[in-house]
Chain A
């Protein structure tokens, strides 16, 4: 069967060439697009801030079949410095009428908001749904994952049963997530939440454990008996393990920290323009030893009416974590303040007794693992007041969104917004949101944003 693959490829391209339509359209080589936004945030009892972002997109079309795209993002950070980021930089090869291959750094087709709705002139609110936290998020909610882009290969196919009735197939293989950056002090700088000190310390413990894991693996290579003995001795000395949700970094890099490629995709069905549903999956090992996985799946639903749109996404993540040892009379136990600060462990009750942990331990790893499961969802509705057919109300749109994340750092957010459209791609957004954190703390904000797509 495999020997026939070249023949099948020839058939595929021949069919495409046979039915390619001649046209007299003008052909350009390069153009420039993008978007920019200015956002003012006023947090009750928390000050205010102004942020500006410019996201130019460069598009190059060297031939009918090849298209190159690059989006950069420039913003000003809290220190007043310029943050620059490559959102995507990839090459599409249009293999057939319906199949596109992509190579480079691209937005992962996971769920719907990330690959399609995150540009501010498209996003109906100034903020992202809370489940996407992190990436250019507001820091109030610890999201399930960021809008993901990564380096690798992607396959896309559309099966157009008709102009309205379609099946979308996306798959990709990418470098995958890694552990967040660790400083010399062993703290994760990326985890800059106010209430997250304990979490950072636990990450440091985790990193130490990973280092120990490498050490043990090395010893196993030289002397198994000695290593087993050391391991048993170590286990005897331990009374319990603690587990902390690791801080993962999803930003695509050229270098992969392991040889295990992350993979995933989305399959979607649409009856245009009204209905679309999709299921997405992602899986990849994030640690150097390829023993710890991050997995996520998502369901997205969209209903487009003439004057309103209803969207919803549900995401579930499962993150493997390595236990950090707590000695019976060691430093950790003596450090009562540390235990009090372990918010995540208390929330999820993930402290595991030593005997139980031993049962679950993977003997290829020096320490036992557990899996943190989180989930969250959002529902968003927007209503265009042009339904009233009034010149005054035609450019106005109302938006409401509810987001929540569950199981570890639980949080809920309601957002209400009103948008005024100057042009189809220029909008002024005014919104109010209230966020309720697991601690019971409520945070209210008013946001104003002007966004322009060009």
Chain B
């Protein structure tokens, strides 16, 4: 009886351990920002983070399992990174959808949509691959930030920052939102409306 109990206990422990390893960190990994965060945390262990444009979304889907093994990523983490990369590469389609809906652009929503906090901090929350976005406009100026968003490598050829295709309205919304971060003013849409929403 004692032996049976011991065996059952061992089996239970082994099963729990295996289930734990499967379940651990599975929750909440579906957002683009979390994919960006995983990208930010893991790529730099060995090499410069590579920009999404280096491969197509279809190619990334084959490259990422290779990196999953190299970087010891879980399946969920690998999928999150793929989603982040795919969202970067299809940003024009995302923003087209926003434009077609006739809704106003929200800088905050666009920043969240693009997963900027995966690599940049906002109010001390987010990744550290790139500089903090809090007060970035105050530090670098509107012209610099606008140009960085449209041509991420203009000041650093090695920058891994993706280029998000945005129309002028979207660009202004993002810059306005970033400007507001340093001043404590809430999200500002291009027309001065402070309401959020896509």
Contacts and interface: CB of A to CB of B under 8 A. Distances in A.
B128 interface: yes
Given A163-B25, A163-B41, A273-B42, A61 B11 contact: no
8 contacts: A4-B11, A29-B62, A96-B18, A98-B21, A122-B46, A273-B44, A394-B157, A395-B156
Given A116-B70, A163-B41, A8 B14 contact: yes
Nearest to B40: A273
Interface in B67-92: 68-70, 72-77, 79, 82-83, 86
B74 A160 contact: yes
B69 A156 contact: yes
Interface string B48-80: 111100111111111101101110111111010
A246 to B, nearest CB: 32
A395 B66 contact: no
A172 interface: no
B51 A97 contact: no
B7 A97 contact: no
Contacts of B26: 19, 21, 97
Interface string A1-44: 10010011001100110011101011111110100000000000
Nearest to A421: B158
A26 B157 contact: no
A219 B25 CA distance: 62
B7 A1 contact: yes
Q: When A and B form their complex, which 4 residue pairs have the shortest distance between CB atoms, in order from nearest? A: A421-B158, A394-B156, A28-B58, A424-B48
A102 B83 CA distance: 25
Interface of A: 1, 4, 7-8, 11-12, 15-16, 19-21, 23, 25-31, 33, 57, 59-61, 67, 69, 92, 94, 96-100, 102, 115-117, 121-122, 156-164, 166, 168, 270, 272-273, 276, 302, 304, 306, 386, 391, 394-395, 421-425, 453-454
Contacts of A166: 72
A26 B57 contact: yes
A100 B156 contact: no
A38 B73 CA distance: 32
Contact of B74 (A26, A97, A386): A97
Contacts of B69: 67, 92, 100, 102, 156
A304 B45 contact: yes
Say what secondary structure dominates the interface of chain B: helix
Given A8-B14, A394-B155, 20 more contacts: A21-B79, A26-B86, A28-B58, A31-B58, A31-B63, A33-B55, A33-B63, A59-B65, A94-B65, A97-B26, A98-B75, A100-B69, A157-B21, A159-B21, A160-B74, A272-B45, A273-B40, A421-B158, A425-B47, A425-B48
A168 B48 CA distance: 21
A4 B62 contact: no
Contacts of B57: 25-26
A11 B83 contact: no
B157 A422 contact: yes
A142 B14 CA distance: 45
B157 A395 contact: yes
Interface residues of B, number: 62
Contacts of A168: 72
B10 interface: yes
Contacts of B38: 163
A21 B30 contact: yes
Given A100-B69, A160-B74, A395-B158, A59 B63 contact: yes
Contacts of A121: 47
B2 interface: no
Contacts of B185: none
Contacts of A1: 7, 10-11
B122 to A, nearest CB: 16
B15 interface: yes
A160 B19 CA distance: 12
B117 to A, nearest CB: 13
B62 A60 contact: yes
B171 to A, nearest CB: 21
A96 B74 CA distance: 8
Nearest to B83: A25
Nearest to A158: B72
B1 interface: no
B100 to A, nearest CB: 20
Contacts of A157: 21
B160 interface: yes
Contacts of A273: 40-42, 44-45, 128
B62 A31 contact: yes
A25 B61 contact: yes
Contact of B65 (A92, A156, A421): A92
Which of A61, A162, A422 counts the most chain B CB atoms within 10 A? Answer: A61
Contacts of A21: 26, 29-30, 76, 79
A402 B34 CA distance: 37
A289 B73 CA distance: 40
Contacts of B11: 1, 4, 7-8
Contacts of A302: 45
A156 B72 contact: yes
Given A15-B19, A19-B26, A97-B75, A28 B155 contact: no
A160 B49 contact: no
Contacts of B86: 25-26
A159 B74 CA distance: 9
A57 B157 CA distance: 25
B104 to A, nearest CB: 27
B129 to A, nearest CB: 8
B61 A61 contact: yes
Given A15-B19, A31-B59, A424-B48, A69 B83 contact: no
Nearest to A394: B156
A30 B7 CA distance: 45
Which of B46, B72, B76 counts the most chain A CB atoms within 10 A? Answer: B72
A28 B21 contact: no
